[in-house]
């Protein structure tokens, strides 16, 4: 081992030990590569060599301790993460407000401990703003968020987030309370004053809570941080937090954090929701104004991709959802809406026979049923998406890469539940705020690799695509005389396009963004050349050999090819 490698090994151990002493977070062997990478970046920014850092650290102890906490503590979170706890909170609010009134209080207080960058605080604020006026109209409420990292607390207090963070949450919950920027800051959202006035923040350490913090709370959230502590520090942190809990209050941990083994005498109320034993015997009060989401929610899925339908069924399995029907186009979907009367609907936009746009705009389905669109179209697409909300859809889920489609699971489940809830409450979504227009893209190259069986599909893609500035190859395979007739027809129909029809596409890398769409009937022999030239390769949804799938950038139904061409050419 070189002297520099030895210095890094020693420094990593010292930093991990110091972080454990300061925060209780235990960084083991699995985290050491992360620690090393972040430390190297930190030392580069300081312009300090590894051999000199221990001295620099000693001379700037407080400053560097804070920097290391910010650098190495976990900051992953999201709006409305672990949605089941928000559902529980709604059901608990009647009892919490009753107990507060019995104590002569006019305010419900909630503490979000280890709040990271504030998403949990603002989520609680949005949830309470939505439900408290209905459940307890005369009761005030507030949320207090703390974290050990002062930088994260400052970020949280600022209340500004990229719009995509919020759009992953149910629109009914966030849209009334956030304002989108304009011009250069149009990608950012800022929380409105009505929530900002009720949500406050501070810096605090779970293992040594501030002595000046003496407030009692009705609910304390401390989620997904205890898992990084050893059992002794878990018990120490929870005991300290419980000292701030009203006797009737509840403590909420992360779903992967069980407190049963800590010997703290807690009563389990719901998954990872606890109360002091003294409060467990109280008779619950049922609220007249609560609206219980059915279990299971009956879902109709309308999508032309059999693979997507299979994934949706998997994502919507379990006690909360039941897929009661599927349809591969809007026409069949309309028929099943009448027959099945589902609670909620997922709807694709690009489908044959009748697409999702037509179903929404030309029928009253979006007025009668809670519809969540699940599509490859981007949420920001003002031309395509904004009119859908005006027509009555409840929400929108943007499909990620096909291979990562399962990542939308929690988002989809949240949005379906809130779609049902909002439709029952008669809530409608406001028009989306406009976004800054996209910069004009550079011309690219699109290759449609197809066979004779794909003739109608190829024509549909060319008709729907805006490729006037691009080089378009149609690579055909099939019997020569049939191929020549088809080529003649394509040239005649699409004279406005820079169209090149060939049985041998051998372009060279020239800096143009190139996308190859592989249809089911097309020979796959050109894919090796396509990959060697840096092309994006999109396969038509269906069964492919492992070798062919290994070439693919992504997989989509052919009805999505026209839209995906623009998306890939724009570098999305």
**Helix intervals (H) in 392-479:** 409-425, 455-464
For residues 282-311, give the mean pLDDT.
76
Domain endpoint, select from 72, 94, 123: 72
| Domain CATH number, residue 385 | 3.40.50.2300
User: Do residues 398 and 411 make contact, with C-beta atoms less than 8 angstroms apart?
Assistant: no
* pLDDT given at position 480: 66
Pair (378, 483) in one structural domain: no
In terms of domains, do 338 and 414 share one?
Answer: yes
Tens-place pLDDT, residues 104-158 = 999 999 999 999 889 999 999 999 999 999 899 989 999 999 998 888 899 999 9
Q: Is the pLDDT of residue 379 over 80?
A: no
pTM: 0.68
The CATH number for 500's domain is: 3.40.50.180
> Would 439 be classed as within a structural domain?
no
Higher-confidence residue: 73 or 383? 383
Q: Is residue 319 classed as helix, strand or coil in its secondary structure?
A: coil
Residue-number span of the structural domain to which 489 is assigned? 445-569
Same domain, 246 and 105: yes
Whether residues 349 and 455 fall in one domain: no
Q: 38, 72 in Cβ contact below 8 A?
A: yes
Task: Say whether the peptide bond before residue 296 is cis (omega within 30 degrees of 0).
Answer: yes
68 and 88 together in one domain: no
Q: Is residue 350 located within the same domain as residue 418? A: yes
Token pair belonging to 383: 């031309």
Determine the pLDDT at residue 481: 67
- Looking at the 3D structure of the chain, how many domains does it have? 4
Instruction: Return the pLDDT at 280.
Output: 44
Q: Is the pLDDT of residue 285 over 50?
A: no
Find the range with the poorest average confidence among 32-41, 298-307, 319-328, 411-420: 32-41
Identify which of 345, 391, 388 has the alpha carbon closest to the alpha carbon of residue 364.
Answer: 391
- Whether 434 is covered by a domain: the verdict is no
Residues 494 and 520 in one domain: yes
As given in the structure block, the two tokens for residue 361 are: 């705009």
157 domain-assigned: yes
- Is residue 289 included in any domain, yes or no? no
Q: Residue 559: how many CB atoms within 10 A of its CB?
A: 26
List, in order, residues 6 or more apart from 405 with CB less than 8 Å away.
308, 311, 399
Q: Could you say which of 25, 51, 72 is where a domain stops?
A: 72
d(CA 409, CA 401): 13
- Residues 136 and 177 occupy one common structural domain: yes
Do residues 267 and 147 share a domain? yes
State the pLDDT at residue 279: 46
CA distance 518 to 268: 54
- For the chain, what percent of residues have pLDDT higher than 90? 39
Q: How confident is the model at residue 436 (pLDDT cuts 50, 70, 90)?
A: very low
431, part of any domain: no
User: pLDDT over 70 for what percent of the chain?
Assistant: 90
Q: For residue 282, is pLDDT > 70?
A: no
Claim to verify: residue 131 and residue 253 sit in the same structural domain:
yes
Pair (237, 92) in one structural domain: yes
440 occurs within a structural domain: no
pLDDT of residue 402: 66
Q: Choose the final residue of a domain: 364, 396, 425.
A: 425
Q: Is the same domain home to 67 and 104?
A: no
The answer to whether residue 75 scores a pLDDT higher than 60 is: no
By C-alpha distance, which of 143, 163, 159 is closest to 193?
159
Q: What is the mean pLDDT of the chain?
A: 86
Q: CATH number of the domain at 234, please.
A: 3.40.50.150
């Amino acid at each position: 081992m070189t002297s520099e490698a030895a210095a890094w090994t020693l420094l990593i151990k010292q930093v991990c030990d110091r972080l454990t002493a300061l925060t209780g977070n235990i960084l083991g062997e699995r985290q050491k590569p992360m620690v090393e990478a972040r430390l190297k970046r930190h030392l580069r920014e300081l312009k300090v060599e590894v051999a000199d850092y221990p001295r620099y650290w000693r001379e700037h102890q407080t400053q560097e301790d804070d920097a290391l906490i910010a650098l190495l503590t976990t900051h992953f979170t999201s709006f409305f993460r672990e949605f089941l706890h928000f559902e529980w909170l709604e059901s608990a609010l009647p009892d919490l407000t009753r107990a507060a009134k019995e104590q002569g209080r006019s305010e419900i207080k909630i503490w979000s401990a280890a709040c990271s960058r504030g998403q949990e605080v603002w989520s609680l604020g949005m949830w309470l703003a939505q439900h408290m006026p209905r459940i307890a109209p005369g009761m005030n409420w507030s949320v207090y968020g703390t974290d050990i990292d002062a930088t994260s607390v400052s970020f949280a207090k600022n209340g500004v987030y990229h719009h995509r963070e919020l759009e992953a949450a149910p629109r009914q919950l966030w849209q009334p309370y956030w304002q989108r920027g304009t011009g250069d800051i149009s990608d950012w959202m800022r929380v409105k004053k009505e929530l900002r006035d009720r949500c406050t923040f501070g810096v605090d350490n779970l293992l040594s809570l501030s002595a000046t913090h003496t407030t009692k709370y009705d609910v304390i959230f401390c989620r997904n941080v205890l898992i990084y502590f050893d059992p002794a520090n878990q018990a120490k942190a929870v005991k300290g937090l419980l000292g701030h809990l009203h006797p009737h209050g509840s403590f909420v941990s992360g779903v992967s954090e069980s407190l049963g083994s800590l010997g703290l005498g807690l009563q389990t109320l719901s998954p990872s929701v606890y109360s002091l034993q003294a409060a467990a015997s109280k008779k619950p009060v049922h609220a007249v104004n609560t609206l219980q989401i059915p279990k299971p929610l009956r879902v109709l899925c309308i999508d032309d991709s059999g693979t997507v339908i299979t994934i949706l069924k998997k994502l919507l399995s379990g006690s909360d959802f039941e897929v009661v029907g599927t349809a591969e186009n809007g026409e069949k979907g309309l028929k099943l809406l009448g027959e099945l009367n589902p609670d909620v609907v997922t709807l694709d936009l690009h489908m044959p026979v009748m697409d999702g746009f037509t179903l929404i705009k030309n029928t009253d389905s979006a007025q009668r049923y809670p519809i969540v669109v699940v599509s490859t179209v981007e949420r920001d697409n003002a031309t395509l998406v904004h009119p859908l909300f005006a027509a009555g859809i409840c929400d929108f889920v943007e499909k990620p890469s096909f291979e990562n489609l399962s990542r939308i699971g929690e988002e989809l489940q949240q949005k379906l539940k809130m779609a049902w809830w909002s439709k029952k409450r008669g809530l409608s979504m406001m028009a989306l705020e406009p976004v800054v227009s996209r910069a004009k893209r550079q011309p690219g190259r699109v290759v449609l690799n197809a066979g004779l069986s794909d003739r109608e599909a190829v024509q549909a893609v060319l008709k729907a695509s805006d490729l006037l500035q691009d080089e378009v190859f149609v690579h055909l395979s099939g019997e020569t005389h049939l191929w020549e007739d088809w080529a003649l027809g394509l040239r005649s129909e699409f004279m406005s396009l820079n169209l090149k029809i060939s049985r041998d596409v051998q372009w060279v890398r020239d800096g143009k963004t190139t996308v190859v769409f592989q249809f089911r009937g097309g020979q796959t022999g050109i894919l090796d050349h396509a990959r060697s030239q840096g092309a994006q390769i999109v396969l038509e949804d269906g069964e492919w050999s492992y070798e062919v799938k290994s070439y693919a950038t992504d997989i989509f139904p052919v009805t999505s090819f026209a839209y995906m061409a623009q998306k890939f050419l724009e570098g999305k």
